[in-house]
Structure 1
Amino acid sequence: MIKSDQILPKHVVIQSEGNIVSDMGNEKVMLNIKNGKYYNLGEIGGEIWESISKPTEVNNLVNHIVKKYDVQTDKCEEEVISFLENLYQESLIKLVVGE
């Protein structure tokens, strides 16, 4: 596992264990078993969450979101990395060595 203050496009991320995720309308909500907190991932956050069920390079994740939601790559990268950093701070995802 990698320790990082900032997630980079070349990093590989994966979901941490111990989360229960449910669909509520078009959005995903999650309960973290360890800390007892609920999280509303939203629609695009839910898409990101589903995409990182297996080790995924951030670049590939950004490309997937750009194609699906027709957003500019640099803006998407900024938003995706910000979202992932929030998940990382809450220990909801892990950074791993490229697979």
Structure 2
Amino acid sequence: MEKYSRNEQIIDGELDNNQVMMHLEKGKYFGLNPVGKRIWELIEQPKSFQEIMDILLSEFNVTKEQCLQEVQAFLDKAVNYDIVIKSEIPI
């Protein structure tokens, strides 16, 4: 099963009510929208895609399709930018 977790090279904090992050190794800064911020909070401990979806669907007033698209888009970009680590965890 694939799990998503934070890259330990990322430091984060709030600035003017926005979640901001910096990749220590690459020196790049990133900002998060509310959904991205919540996903970031959730993956403090590794979570599967489905676990993330289930939690967000219970917290946000969105359709399953909209949630799926937003979560997939965020995770794809975050993995690509090395903010989030996707790893295979045995069941």
Calculate the TM-score normalised by the size of structure 2.
Answer: 0.89
**CA RMSD of the aligned region, Å?**
1.5
Letter in 2 for 1:98: I
Q: Distance in 2 between matches of 1:41 and 1:64?
A: 18
- In structure 2, runs of 5+ residues without a counterpart are none
Shift of 1:25: 4.3
Shift of 1:18: 1.0
Counting matched residue pairs gives 90
Letter in 2 for 1:14: S
| Identical counterparts, % of pairs | 23
Residue in 1 aligned with 2:31?
A: 40
Q: Give the direction of change, closer, same or farther, for the CA distance of 1:43–1:27 in structure 2 (3 Å limit).
A: farther
Letter in 1 for 2:28: K
Letter in 1 for 2:51: N
Instruction: State the SS of the aligned residue for 2:14.
Output: strand
Calculate the TM-score normalised by the size of structure 1.
Answer: 0.82
